[in-house]
Amino acid sequence: MTQTTQDADGRVAVGLLGLGTVGSGTITLLRRSAAEIERRCGARIEVRRALVRDLRRARSADAEAVPLTLEPKDILEDPQIQIVVELMGGLEPARTYVEAALCAGKHVVTANKALIAKHGSALFRVADEHGVTLSFEAAVGGGIPIIKTLRESLASNRIDQVIGIVNGTSNYILTEMAQGDASFETALAQAQALGYAEADPTFDVEGIDAAHKLSILAAIAFGAPITFDAVYTEGISHLTAVDIRFAHELGYRIKHLAIAIRHHEGIELRVHPTLVPAHRLMANVAGVMNAVFVRGDAIGEALLYGAGAGAAATASAVVADITDVMRVIEAEPRYRVPHLGFRAGAIEPQPLLPVSEVVTAYYLRLAVIDHPGALAEITRALADAGVSIESLRQLPPSEEGVATLVLLTHGVKEAQLDAALARIGQLDVVRERITRLRLHQFDE
């Protein structure tokens, strides 16, 4: 275990793995806030080197000043470097490098949610074995201090709900589409140009990034292991402008929500587009902004809001983690906050509720042949499955005699809705695929 501190000149040496959007933002912020950091921690940070793939790639003016290397060992085996900041992304070689850094007794700060969601448990064990920390505030919610809040500030609470908009790219696209002036493809291209999207934007638009983040939040909120593979995941790529418009007309906004709810019988973990009443704060989180709603037995309801992606906001969290590490670098490991907020031995597997058991309300859109009895057949199938209709709207039929039906249901178990839709899908009067979106009122 290393317990080195600052050098004779009062500097702590840091090595960066990656110098892209977040890496460059981190360098800029470290430079700008050097005096503040020294006032807070009593030491200065020296970025000794950054690992990149391409030495010839153009960098920002601040990043240009950082010595570059193509050799991971120049950072992982440099005895002067005490803190390694992983901002490469992806699982490999990031996992191998992070593990090597921890084994070498270096503290690690990362913004890599995929890495923490998939390999966090194993890496936390390695960090504990070597008496170092693996910090990951930037992995969820960009600049929002949600990890520290759940892990430390709300430590007195039994938390039963964490529900958030946690992917800036999806929220940016949905906002642009809802305002009616951009297609899905144009909005995604803008989010990429602004540095919000993952290297593979499928992670953003198919909900995988939000699922990574939800699995991390749920583990910290409930003291459970990280279970990324158990998250029910739907993205926004199948959403149409038609449903965004109908939702508006009904008094809702469509948001991509990540939902973790603890019930007596188990935990539900799901990520999907969701109708949210337009008057709720969550419905009004726009653009790249993220928000995380937390419900605890002592605090009641709390909402954290802020920029969820982008160089500066993410760097805010990365640099905060670096300053935290600088403060605890000399502390006995047992006095540090555990990685997931609960002692490693106290993290308990908890039953997971399959999505078929989840109770929620729904928005349904159907294309139906406009002839007598059609509506009755549909409402009978819903009633037989125990699905109660909250409201129903029928739009005038097209020239071909096909009418659009938009229904909102009361809360019902997903398995019951599936049974009703399977029967409705067989009816001769129903044309096209049925659109089904979940709805969350934020009042349970």
Residue ranges binding ligand NAP (CB under 6 A): 18-23, 51-54, 57, 87-89, 93, 111-113, 138, 142, 195-196, 198-199, 309-310, 314
Report the residue number, 6 or 169, with the smaller CB distance to ligand NAP: 169
Cα(138)–Cα(96) distance, integer angstroms: 20
Stretch that binds ligand HSE, among 167-175, 317-325, 326-334, 411-419 (CB under 6 A): 167-175
Question: How far apart are CB 213 and ligand HSE at their closest, in Å?
Answer: 7
Question: How far apart are CB 63 and ligand NAP at their closest, in Å?
Answer: 9
**Burial category of 194 from C-beta neighbours within 10 Å (exposed 0-12, middle 13-18, buried 19 and up):** middle
Report the residue number, 87 or 387, with the smaller CB distance to ligand NAP: 87
**Helices in 46-167 by DSSP H: which ranges?**
61-64, 73-76, 94-103, 113-129, 146-148
Question: Which residue, 129, 7, 34, is CA-closest to 322?
Answer: 34
Report the residue number, 305 or 362, with the smaller CB distance to ligand NAP: 305
Residue 308 near ligand HSE by CB under 6 A:
yes
Tokens describing residue 300: 């009641």
* Site mask for ligand HSE (CB under 6 A), range 192-221, x = bound: ----xxx-----x----x------------
- Based on the residue annotation, tell me whether 113 is a catalytic residue of this protein: no
For residues 307 and 143, is the Cβ–Cβ distance under 8 A?
yes
Tokens describing residue 246: 């109908």
Report the residue number, 254 or 309, with the smaller CB distance to ligand HSE: 309
**Residue whose structure tokens are 């010839």:** 56
106, 213, 255, 413: which is the annotated catalytic residue?
A: 213
Q: What SS3 class is residue 239?
A: coil
CA 246-248-251 angle, 5° bins: 115
Strand partners, 430: 368
> Could you say which of ligand NAP, ligand HSE, none residue 368 binds, taking C-beta under 5 to 8 angstroms by partner kind?
none
Question: How far apart are CB 231 and ligand NAP at their closest, in Å?
Answer: 17
Instruction: Name residues whose C-beta falls within 8 Å of residue 41's C-beta, 6 or more positions apart in sequence.
Output: 323, 326, 327
> Could you say which of ligand NAP, ligand HSE, none residue 199 binds, taking C-beta under 5 to 8 angstroms by partner kind?
ligand NAP
Stretch that binds ligand HSE, among 79-87, 191-199, 363-371, 388-396 (CB under 6 A): 191-199
DSSP per position, 318-332: HHHHHHHHHHHTTS-
Report the residue number, 18 or 164, with the smaller CB distance to ligand NAP: 18
Question: How far apart are CB 159 and ligand NAP at their closest, in Å?
Answer: 23
CA 255-171-151 angle, 5° bins: 85
Residues in the chain: 444
Question: How far apart are CB 214 and ligand HSE at their closest, in Å?
Answer: 12
Q: What SS3 class is residue 13?
A: strand
Question: How far apart are CB 382 and ligand HSE at their closest, in Å?
Answer: 36
DSSP per position, 64-78: HTS-EES-THHHHT-
The values of phi and psi at residue 305, to 5°, are -135, 140
Report the residue number, 145 or 168, with the smaller CB distance to ligand HSE: 168
Tokens describing residue 369: 């042949």
Report the residue number, 104 or 419, with the smaller CB distance to ligand NAP: 104
> Could you say which of ligand NAP, ligand HSE, none residue 219 binds, taking C-beta under 5 to 8 angstroms by partner kind?
none
Residue 321 near ligand HSE by CB under 6 A:
no
Question: How far apart are CB 7 and ligand NAP at their closest, in Å?
Answer: 26
Q: Which residues are catalytic?
A: 213
Residues at the site binding ligand HSE, with contacts judged by CB under 6 A: 142, 167-169, 196-198, 204, 209, 308-309
